[in-house]
Structure 1
């Protein structure tokens, strides 16, 4: 009989744990703004709110509450004002606009009134204005087309580009004051008229890159406020994210220059502290998802390009360039690190060593203060100001038992060294044999981390409470283990993944920890694909759950919004090499299937389109395998509703409890 402990977090408690995002530190180093995301159970949604920790009073407080949400906080250069985005309007007409809060005691004021949502913004260095990106207003030609014929899309032709705007803060405040002093009918009339004026470049928000049919992916403003550097792609399509180019805009002359550096630009372009150089991430080799991204520095005067020499076999991402060097972040196995990188390649670490996940950093221009989110195997993610924790997420775990997490290692038959996270019950008994659940992360360039569980797709803590032990393998292709490991699944999808997983299972079985007769596997996205592959390729599992998984690479290739992903990993198109598409597809082995399989999928998933779910379901049904298909209405590749997360977790827990532990199926349940 498996012993149960009722003090583990429940599914509802796991979903209710707040998630921290997007830190912003004030230049005086005294305050940290951050986003706190929590579920609104009554309205079945998640709410994002900007909170501020004020070191002067050692207290945190929210800027918005309830349905009045906020996100993307950024302090003004003088630390006096905090700008953020907040949705305005009702229903599908809600658009994110820029608000400014001048103090805790005074309310925020809306300063942008755009027809389209503001997606990203930065303060002008003088603090008098704000640069932001937003989609261009709909053209009169497009409006006429809709009126005459209704809505349709010419695939790979109808693109809605964004552009970069500049907003004068004082004029934005004046506009808001004028509008809000009017009756509602006149307010709405004036707002409509002003939106029409915005399309003609009025004096409130001015498009400064309006002549280019390109999508702006990232940008920065020079310290003197006279120049903008920006990265573009030829279209907004995901498939074009590897066709980036860098441009420089002179704000006085309006001249735009394309930088002839390299075609391998990746992300995060920024100016040096004195404006003489820029840096950005670039692919070291060919533009492939699994190749390393390194830093490149471009001298704007000499046109000389250099790369700091680093002994880091992983992606290095720049965050901010200060006088001491460039704040960068990178991953090392199951750790996330950050440090200050000098131009000659010297790295000054900022946080911890092993057993540390430090993400979303922000730093003051003098380099003396840094804010970030940090978690360890024993500590939940918290906001830190320098080395001091300023939030209290740990309270959600008080009085609760957490699974014991450890990192284990094994070697595959083809010589790859694999790591995995093993979660065991608090009362683990080494003399016993346990049932096992394998939880497979997505990506494949993802990583399972040894931090307290906040997983909203696989009920890890509840599995452990039931008496399972849980293995989360960082299979070939996972991030954090170097470029060669990330590309080790090239033309080995499914087959290599299977070897990584079963070899880890075999180690636990050989040690007497796990019963070979009681093993299940569950995953979402790429993890769902690996679970689907195991469902048809193998009979080693007693129960399987496939979440948003690929079942047929051919079906996937012609339907997904990231077609290039398939070409990169399988090497060729299906028209060039049908055999590799067959060999790596779960459907190829459908006649071998024998394991009860739960399939969960979003109705509107464009990343892994829903035909993949129907194809696997029909195949399993036809060969007589017990299966259940759940389609979540309106859901894309992942859910943004706590209620959906709740039922996904409950269905997975019940599926494995029934088919592995032998618990009776409760047909009376509403899900």
Structure 2
């Protein structure tokens, strides 16, 4: 697999099962060279792939209750607005509310929709000093609103007193809407949200679940008596796993389902594309709720019974990433180490599965895919740590790249990795790992690096690396480490902690915890991750910051950072660059203009290709592998 193959990849995503027939809507994403960005096409097909409808520049399909129409988000000059088409091709004009469309939900009568929008702050034009009154003044999103949309009527905002509305769902009788809102929450200090019920007849709202922890998904039961919801186990803690709850509207009480499951519901395994980044999905089926959860490096689709039962719906090791449930079956998107992204159909009556899309057959027709195998080690404290190793077909031992994921509370695993396959084609093996802090292994494992970044998590990586480099297929003398975000922090930390890497790539990384704690991500993240504020534990903030270890760095370092990174300021990489230059170390710095923190998912194709070419050339130079791409060197900044 070569660098240029990125432009030809496609991902099937956002499946929507027809309410009653074996028909589905879904979206295919892929790069459009003319626009230099990802493009999205909506399709409606039967299970044989016969096309019933095609809508360019559209995503997020939602079937009407009678299955005759599909509502969706039309992409219009970068803005997402609501639209609707029938299978006959007729279009229903929906008045567009202000803001960017986030989600659409049909009313049971099929005549109205509730729309969720996000209003983005315009670029600053102020030329005079102005006061900042809260951390929200720095946020790119100004407000999240819920609207009622219907033909021949202006959009009507609901629950203006509910604050930011981020999730909404209709009651089966169409008279009420459940809303997740941050009403009453001090955003400077809390990430919590509450569950509210809005009565469309009276205009009154009622708080069902107070804002104690974040709520990430809701689904009203078909009988109207209950609302299922996902809630974090703790507030202000990214490591907290999600629990599945059901709120009983008669008793006004909630209870947790599958309370013996020590896994995070609604958090699939992450990969190269955007699937698993958005809001989790919940869906009712009789007396059970269907949802995805991560177990190790796999995303499982499971049913959670109201009686406490729990069972996996699909018995395979692939990663289920999204799903939609209809009367005839379940449509789901998935990936595995050989497959970027397809959609399959589960016939829930027969228990059989059928692949609907076959994008990889053409995208990867001329590409050799290297095998990926799961590896593990029992760490020095007795805990198992998993990784995934991709090894090229080579007669001699291969150099190795240790790639550390971001988060830190994500999980990687049985998903296709463009980075791993591209590097394997250049003769470089790739080890991806789930160290302490990763999801998929329980709450204690996810909490395992809290207040200890660069500690137990780093030991996990080194001990797994020891196991892999003992293999005959790996050249232990040619090893590099790369990482993005938290992974970038870990690469920078490793560079100043051990002398075993021939090259280090720090992408969107963290150099200094003290300056990061007051950054745009905010105290709610850093105080949880580091076990308190800087004044509570100044020693840890200093000692675990890679900036304090630059004098120990001996390996060549490549820094990659986006100039509009909204989560890890580019000043973090600037500090590393300045320090290493002052020390006379070998360091390169690639600045990426006009891009943010999720550049490697949503960024412009041309900039992603240049970034990857620079990365590959750097690794080839220092690992002795053959560089298969040549790109002009970026201009250096004189210092």
Same fold (TM over 0.5): yes
Question: Aligned residue for 1:506?
Answer: 466
**How many equivalent residue pairs?**
607
Cα RMSD between the aligned structures?
A: 2.7
Q: Distance in 2 between matches of 1:135 and 1:666?
A: 40
Q: Deviations over 1:481-510 (max 9, x none)?
A: 111111111122123232122212211233
Q: CA deviation at 1:653?
A: 0.8
Q: Distance in 1 between matches of 2:538 and 2:13?
A: 43
**3-state SS in 1 of match to 2:516:** helix
The answer on 1:570 being equivalent to 2:521 is no
Q: Quickly say closer, same or farther: Cα 1:136–1:391, change in 2 above 3 A.
A: closer
Q: Deviations over 1:490-534 (max 9, x none)?
A: 122123232122212211233344333211011111111111111
Q: Deviations over 1:238-260 (max 9, x none)?
A: 86662211111111011111125
**406, 411, 423: which one pairs with 2:390?**
423
Q: Quickly say closer, same or farther: Cα 1:237–1:444, change in 2 above 3 A.
A: farther
Q: Deviations over 1:247-276 (max 9, x none)?
A: 111110111111256723422122111111
**447, 453, 461: which one pairs with 2:417?**
453
Q: CA deviation at 1:35?
A: 1.6
The answer on 1:35 being equivalent to 2:27 is yes
Q: Distance in 1 between matches of 2:625 and 2:21?
A: 57
**319, 326, 333: which one pairs with 2:282?**
319
Question: Aligned residue for 2:106?
Answer: 123
On the 8 A contact 2:217/2:230 being kept in 1, the answer is: yes
After superposing the two structures, state which structure 1 stretch, 340-349 or 105-114, moved more: 105-114
Q: Quickly say closer, same or farther: Cα 1:167–1:662, change in 2 above 3 A.
A: closer
Q: Which aligned pairs between 1:75-224 and structure 2 lie closer than 5 A?
A: 75-88=63-76, 90=77, 94-103=78-87, 105-135=88-118, 155-156=134-135, 158=137, 160-169=142-151, 171=152, 203-212=153-162, 214-224=163-173
Question: Aligned residue for 2:303?
Answer: 340
Q: CA deviation at 1:342?
A: 1.3
The answer on 1:408 being equivalent to 2:370 is no
**3-state SS in 1 of match to 2:518:** helix
The answer on 1:536 being equivalent to 2:528 is no
Q: Which aligned pairs between 1:247-262 and structure 2 lie closer than 5 A?
A: 247-260=196-209
On the 8 A contact 1:244/1:263 being kept in 2, the answer is: yes
**3-state SS in 2 of match to 1:64:** strand
Q: CA deviation at 1:31?
A: 1.8
Q: Distance in 2 between matches of 1:486 and 1:641?
A: 33
Structure number with greater Rg is 1
Question: Aligned residue for 2:359?
Answer: 393
**3-state SS in 1 of match to 2:67:** coil
Question: Aligned residue for 2:61?
Answer: 73
Question: Aligned residue for 2:270?
Answer: none
Question: Aligned residue for 1:651?
Answer: 614
Question: Aligned residue for 2:423?
Answer: 463
**3-state SS in 1 of match to 2:6:** helix
Q: Quickly say closer, same or farther: Cα 1:669–1:251, change in 2 above 3 A.
A: same
The answer on 1:278 being equivalent to 2:227 is yes
TM-score by length of 1: 0.85
Unaligned 5+ segments in structure 1 are 1-8, 172-202
Q: CA deviation at 1:135?
A: 4.7
Question: Aligned residue for 1:329?
Answer: 292
TM-score by length of 2: 0.89
Question: Aligned residue for 1:245?
Answer: 194
**290, 295, 301: which one pairs with 2:250?**
301
**3-state SS in 2 of match to 1:422:** strand
Q: Distance in 2 between matches of 1:237 and 1:606?
A: 21
Q: CA deviation at 1:638?
A: 2.3
Q: Distance in 1 between matches of 2:11 and 2:613?
A: 21
Question: Aligned residue for 2:320?
Answer: 358
On the 8 A contact 2:11/2:342 being kept in 1, the answer is: no
Q: Quickly say closer, same or farther: Cα 1:397–1:84, change in 2 above 3 A.
A: same
**3-state SS in 2 of match to 1:161:** strand
Q: Quickly say closer, same or farther: Cα 1:380–1:603, change in 2 above 3 A.
A: closer
Q: Deviations over 1:377-399 (max 9, x none)?
A: 44442111221111112212223
Q: Quickly say closer, same or farther: Cα 1:237–1:559, change in 2 above 3 A.
A: farther
**517, 521, 536: which one pairs with 1:557?**
517
Q: CA deviation at 1:414?
A: 3.0
**3-state SS in 2 of match to 1:485:** helix
**3-state SS in 1 of match to 2:161:** coil
Identify the structure with the greater helix proportion: 1
Q: Distance in 2 between matches of 1:58 and 1:513?
A: 42
**59, 73, 78: which one pairs with 2:50?**
59
Unaligned 5+ segments in structure 2 are 267-280, 347-352, 635-639
Q: CA deviation at 1:421?
A: 0.3
Q: Quickly say closer, same or farther: Cα 1:666–1:348, change in 2 above 3 A.
A: closer
Q: Distance in 2 between matches of 1:226 and 1:531?
A: 53
Q: CA deviation at 1:285?
A: 4.8
Q: Quickly say closer, same or farther: Cα 1:659–1:167, change in 2 above 3 A.
A: same
**481, 485, 492: which one pairs with 1:521?**
481
Q: Quickly say closer, same or farther: Cα 1:526–1:97, change in 2 above 3 A.
A: same
Q: Distance in 1 between matches of 2:558 and 2:128?
A: 42
Q: Quickly say closer, same or farther: Cα 1:21–1:615, change in 2 above 3 A.
A: same
Q: Distance in 1 between matches of 2:298 and 2:120?
A: 43
Q: CA deviation at 1:587?
A: 0.8
After superposing the two structures, state which structure 1 stretch, 383-392 or 303-312, moved more: 303-312
Q: CA deviation at 1:291?
A: 2.1
Q: Quickly say closer, same or farther: Cα 1:621–1:137, change in 2 above 3 A.
A: closer
**3-state SS in 2 of match to 1:550:** coil
**438, 454, 459: which one pairs with 2:402?**
438
On the 8 A contact 1:438/1:520 being kept in 2, the answer is: yes
